[in-house]
Homo-oligomer: A and B are copies of this chain.
Amino acid sequence: MTDNWKDIRINPDRFWANFEAQAEIGATGDGGVNRPALSEAHLAVRDWFRQQVDSAGLAFRLDGAGNHSAVLACGPAGGQTLLLGSHLDSVPYGGRFDGPLGVLAALEVLQVVQEAGLKLPVNLEAIDFTDEEGTLVGVLGSSALVGSLRLDDLQTPRGGREALLAGLARAGLDESCLLAAGRPASSLAGYLELHIEQGPRLIEASLGIGIVTDIVGIGSYRLTFSGSANHAGTTPMDARKDAGLGAAAFILAVRRLVLEEFPGCVANVGAVRFEPGAFNIVPGLAELILEFRSPRKESFALLEEALLALAFDLAEQYDLGLQYEFLGRHQPTPMSPAVSQAVAAAAEALSLRSILLASGAGHDAQLLAEACPSGMVFIPSVGGISHSPDEFSRRKDCLNGANVLLQTCLRMVYL
């Protein structure tokens, strides 16, 4: 075996044309896309992806979780698969890079390997995971693939049970096929994902490549403060049990708590809803959704505990009731050091400056790491902006990232 494979590169024009084509589907006209998992726009971009797979002469694979893939049988029949991928769904009114970049880079890698006629010790698969972003459940497709999805996860999903069932129905899926979508870990040689950093570290340090060492743990709760709905004109201010005060105080206190006691961690109250929700009624219920993250297991557990204690303290302070519903938790997850070394070597071979960093965002790689050696390649996000129509990465950084993905993949199998 010669080292000719070290000179193989992606086809930049084809890759970029594909990237730009996907960004048109569900486009919001301001540079962003609105493709919540299994929405009509998401189903449209999935159809488009399938057409690309067909046009590329690759095999198409669809599993019970709606994960769909291009498959290149470049390895032995029945051999292990090296998975490359990411997701095509977006947060509501999000950006066009988060997810699709990794899916299309994976597809490009398969096309390049196919064109080079390489025989590898593994087969390659470029996968688009279902509902990474959590509009419905969160890392739904990757959880299902590694067999860690439980029936319970589907009962009280983040996006609500009705939204989940409606989405599954639109996609022609159901719960039993979701739960049966697991693959044996022994079938997987590894997992590699290219993604935008979604933070400012690479761009601020003028680095081209980030090598992910750890992915943050993420937990979420629905909290409901309860007081008394009452007439907002006739009930004196000091005689109210205003559930909105509990929610408002919590939103402010979460920020103080994390800033003062949990450096390196984050928390977010992304939505809040008052009941009954009228101008002239003191809110009787105030429901909010809370998410928190930490890169370290110890602080992750302490943060969760402190946030719940804070909610209870404030409920007491404002004479309110509190109910909390646990919605999900992914522990902080280290990436495979061997894969990270392959990424570092690939970046170096491509003359790209790289750095080791932890990911503040959750990714499908977190789930895949349970089953096989997994790693992630980050490229710079301009302004560190993500989950927004203003999310942007430079074309050259995207192309470099795709080449690092290709070369990492080849290094993992040849060296």
Which residues does A use to contact B, with CB under 8 Å? 91-94, 133-135, 138, 158, 197-200, 216, 218, 220, 228-239, 242, 244-245, 247-252, 255, 258-259, 266-284, 289, 291, 293, 359-362, 381, 384-388, 390
Contacts and interface: CB of A to CB of B under 8 A. Distances in A.
Given A252-B245, A282-B270, A234 B276 contact: no
Contacts of A233: 198, 216, 218, 266, 293, 359-362
Given A237-B258, A248-B249, A251-B244, A232 B276 contact: no
B272 A234 contact: no
A255 B266 contact: no
Contact of A360 (B234, B248, B362): B234
A278 B138 CA distance: 12
Contacts of A134: 278-280
Given A232-B291, A234-B197, A291-B232, A279 B283 contact: no
Contacts of A384: 234-235, 239
A178 to B, nearest CB: 20
Q: Which of A200, A266, A274, A281 has the most CB of B within 10 A?
A: A281
Given A94-B276, A199-B235, A242-B268, 15 more contacts: A134-B280, A216-B233, A220-B279, A231-B361, A232-B270, A233-B293, A236-B266, A248-B248, A252-B252, A268-B282, A269-B283, A270-B280, A270-B281, A280-B362, A284-B388
A258 B232 CA distance: 13
Given A235-B266, A237-B255, A229 B388 contact: yes
A251 B249 CA distance: 9
A57 B293 CA distance: 69
Given A248-B247, A270-B278, A387 B291 contact: no
A146 B293 CA distance: 58
Contacts of A270: 232, 244, 274, 277-283
A117 B329 CA distance: 75
A231 B277 contact: no
A252 B259 contact: no
A281 B133 CA distance: 10
Contacts of A236: 266
Contacts of A249: 248, 252
A202 B275 CA distance: 28
Contacts of A250: 248
Contacts of A281: 91-92, 94, 268, 270, 387-388
B268 A158 contact: no
22 contacts: A91-B281, A92-B276, A138-B279, A200-B239, A232-B266, A232-B270, A233-B266, A233-B360, A234-B361, A234-B384, A235-B384, A235-B386, A237-B255, A242-B268, A244-B269, A244-B270, A245-B251, A247-B248, A247-B251, A279-B291, A281-B387, A284-B388
Nearest to A135: B278
A91 B232 CA distance: 11
Contact of A385 (B218, B230, B238, B247): B230
Given A251-B248, A268-B282, A198 B231 contact: yes
